[in-house]
Amino acid sequence: MEAEKSNKNVIVGRNPVMEALRSDREIEKLVVGKGAEGSIKKIVGMAKEKKIPITMADKSALDRMANGSPHQGVAAYVSSYGYCDVEDILKLAEERNEPPFILILDNLEDPHNLGAIMRTAEACGVHGIIIPKRRAVGITDVVAKASAGAVEYMSCAKVSNIAQTIDSLKEKGIWIYACDMDGSTYYQTDLKGAAAIVIGSEGFGISRLVKEKCDFVVSIPMAGKITSLNASNAAAVLMCEVRKQRDAGRL
């Protein structure tokens, strides 16, 4: 049945669907809940302009498509996410006339964390995110939902070997910063140049080999009783600091 096909290519929620329409991502079909109002009308109008097929469905059908995620009365079948190459990320930085600003995720597993990271990365001007091909979360409908539409604008490259990729970036003059507990305080570290920030997995942090490849280790001081932040929170703190230092350097 149509509503029960694999959800890996489904985006749910009004904002993520609208951003997909705005970004010209290839959408195969729009599914709208019967009686849906408000911003749904704008979404339907955008879909009609692009000549995207529109199907009406009841709430139970949308619930099955969304797999429990809040769909807000709309879903879209999209083509598989188009991953880029690391060279594409570097080219984007060059086109913007900016030193590369890259995020490397070492075996991140939680799709909600990846989505939140992508949202912050897009807001902070990150040129791209690098993730491993295996043993890590990729771009899914859950990630797209958590990113609130940022997945449509954030370049993401999948690589076979994170450590080798770091070596390649270092050869191109990019400094690699690992986020870990035993490093220098992040806001006392110069992050203004070409930089790649490495964030580890939720349970195990950064792998030993990857950490050894990094040029610097930076830490986030904890003033409370909690001794660490989750991956998306830590990534947000460091990305905002890079943005702050870069902006201050232009004043």
As a CATH number, domain 2-78 is 3.30.1330.30
Cα-based angle 64, 50, 141 (whole degrees, multiple of 5): 30
- CB neighbours of residue 83 within 10 Å: 15
CATH number corresponding to 86-249:
3.40.1280.10
**Host H or E run for residue 91:** helix 86-95
Euclidean distance between CA atoms 15 and 147, whole angstroms: 10
pLDDT tens-digit profile, the chain (251 residues): 233 334 557 889 999 999 888 876 668 789 998 887 788 999 999 999 888 889 999 888 898 888 878 899 999 988 667 789 999 999 999 999 999 999 999 989 898 999 999 999 999 999 999 999 877 888 877 888 889 889 889 999 999 899 999 999 999 999 999 999 889 999 999 999 999 999 998 888 899 999 999 999 999 999 888 878 899 999 999 999 999 999 997 64
Domain boundaries, the chain: 2-78, 86-249
Cα dihedral 143, 18, 102, 7 sign: positive
0.85 exceeded by the pTM? no
